[in-house]
Amino acid sequence: MKMADLYPIGEKADIGSHTFTAENIVRFASRFDPQVFHMDAEAAKNTLFGGLCASGWHTCAVWMRTFVDYWDGETARLTAEGHQPPKLGPSPGFQKLQWLRPVFAGDTISYSVTLLATRPLASRPGWTLNSILCEGTNQHGTQVLRFESGVLEFE
């Protein structure tokens, strides 16, 4: 079974959601992106964002966590149904990363993935390169995150 057998090109799959708490925003930022609007709710009021908001890298990391959890569930489901799930490998990279709107403490982001294209790799027989669109939308329906990624698939 190939990824394209499960997900028609252009069809969005919802992979899960996550609520960003002030505590988690600060915890992530203190380790990886210690800017005032990610670290201090009171000081963040005086920034261009007007409040505590998550690092864009945090929103991307949660997309990845959500995708891994989703794919683990899909793998278990397909196996239970008697199918051989696609074997997905690492990503060779991403492009067109956009942090479209800030993610504030209390926002719930719903994540999705859309298969854009798939092609066999001439240099690696049995391997496929899938191009996917990765997105996040807040509870108001406003898109906050978008990027394109490659995902290797192998036999």
Mutual angle of helices 56-80 and 22-32, in 10-degree steps = 110
Q: What is the total count of domains within the chain?
A: 1
pTM above 0.85, yes or no: yes
CATH number at residue 48: 3.10.129.10
pLDDT, position 155? 82
Q: What is the pLDDT of residues 30-70, one digit of tens each?
A: 999 999 999 999 999 999 999 999 999 999 999 999 999 99
Dihedral sign of CA atoms 12, 153, 86, 71 in order: negative
- Which residues constitute the domain of residue 115? 3-154
* Rounded Cα–Cα distance for residues 149 and 126 (Å): 20
pLDDT, position 115? 98
